[in-house]
Chain A
Amino acid sequence: DTAVSQTPKYLVTQMGNDKSIKCEQNLGHDTMYWYKQDSKKFLKIMFSYNNKELIINETVPNRFSPKSPDKAHLNLHINSLELGDSAVYFCASSPYGTSEKTQYFGPGTRLLVL
């Protein structure tokens, strides 16, 4: 009964490949997010979706494309992987329209590009 789940947990791949990371939340939240955490632990927001609509689209390469088939899922597809894409990617979700709006994070996907 994990609240926010991500698959895979680990991803090792070669430069130039295309890969996807999946995220699902069972909290009934309307808003989902993708973050990138680099080797120095710095967390940066990449995308935010509210009820399948793109809300935040930070300056990330267009090789990264989020897809939200429904409000419980937000997947991240990465084309032509580069060495600098190696990081931990976190998915998160939060309720919409409440005062607190705490974000709940998934376990992370550790991506290593060789």
Chain B
Amino acid sequence: ELKVEQNPLFLSMQEGKNYTIYCNYSTTSDRLYWYRQDPGKSLESLFVLLSNGAVKQEGRLMASLDTKARLSTLHITAAVHDLSATYFCAVDMGTWGNNDMRFGAGTRLTVKP
């Protein structure tokens, strides 16, 4: 059975600092997604990583994928309060036509002034 493990599960950081969230998964997949969820809200897509070595950046967030190590990272640069949210990685186990996403437990990020 596929396991998707995120760590840390809780992260409290100061504004201006850098940190990395890790997402390990237990079986072969070359499609990985990162989502953000604000409290009481829906999930918002951040990144789609489709191949080994893929790197995507948006603002202070950068995501990467190493399919051989079965590892994705979400790096936060110079954190600001607005980044406070829960971040989920999801591994796609589906076929070409459909996707079958299995989510990690989420990392609850709090950025303090």
**Cα separation A101 to B29 with both chains bound (whole Å):** 14
B residues 88-107 touching A (CB-CB < 8 Å): 88, 92, 94, 96-103, 105-106
Q: Which B residues contact A (CB, under 8 angstroms)?
A: 31, 33, 37, 41-45, 48, 50, 86, 88, 92, 94, 96-103, 105-106, 108
A41-B105, A100-B48 known, 12 other contacts, Cβ within 8 Å? A41-B86, A45-B102, A50-B97, A92-B43, A94-B98, A99-B50, A100-B50, A101-B94, A103-B45, A103-B99, A103-B101, A105-B44
**Cα separation A50 to B41 with both chains bound (whole Å):** 26
A45 partner residues in chain B, CB cutoff 8 A? 100-102
Known contacts A100-B50, A102-B48; decide if A90 and B43 are in contact (CB<8 Å).
yes
Q: For residue A33, which residue of chain B has the nearest CB?
A: B101
Nearest CB on A from B90, distance (A): 8
**Cα separation A35 to B109 with both chains bound (whole Å):** 22
Size bracket of the A interface: 20 to 34
**Cα separation A108 to B38 with both chains bound (whole Å):** 12
Contact yes or no, A96 B97, CB < 8 A: yes
A99 partner residues in chain B, CB cutoff 8 A? 50
**Cα separation A101 to B95 with both chains bound (whole Å):** 11
A40 partner residues in chain B, CB cutoff 8 A? 105
Counting chain B CB atoms within 10 Å of each CB, which of A31, A41, A42, A90 scores highest?
A: A41
Contact yes or no, A56 B42, CB < 8 A: no
Nearest CB on A from B4, distance (A): 10
**Cα separation A101 to B90 with both chains bound (whole Å):** 12
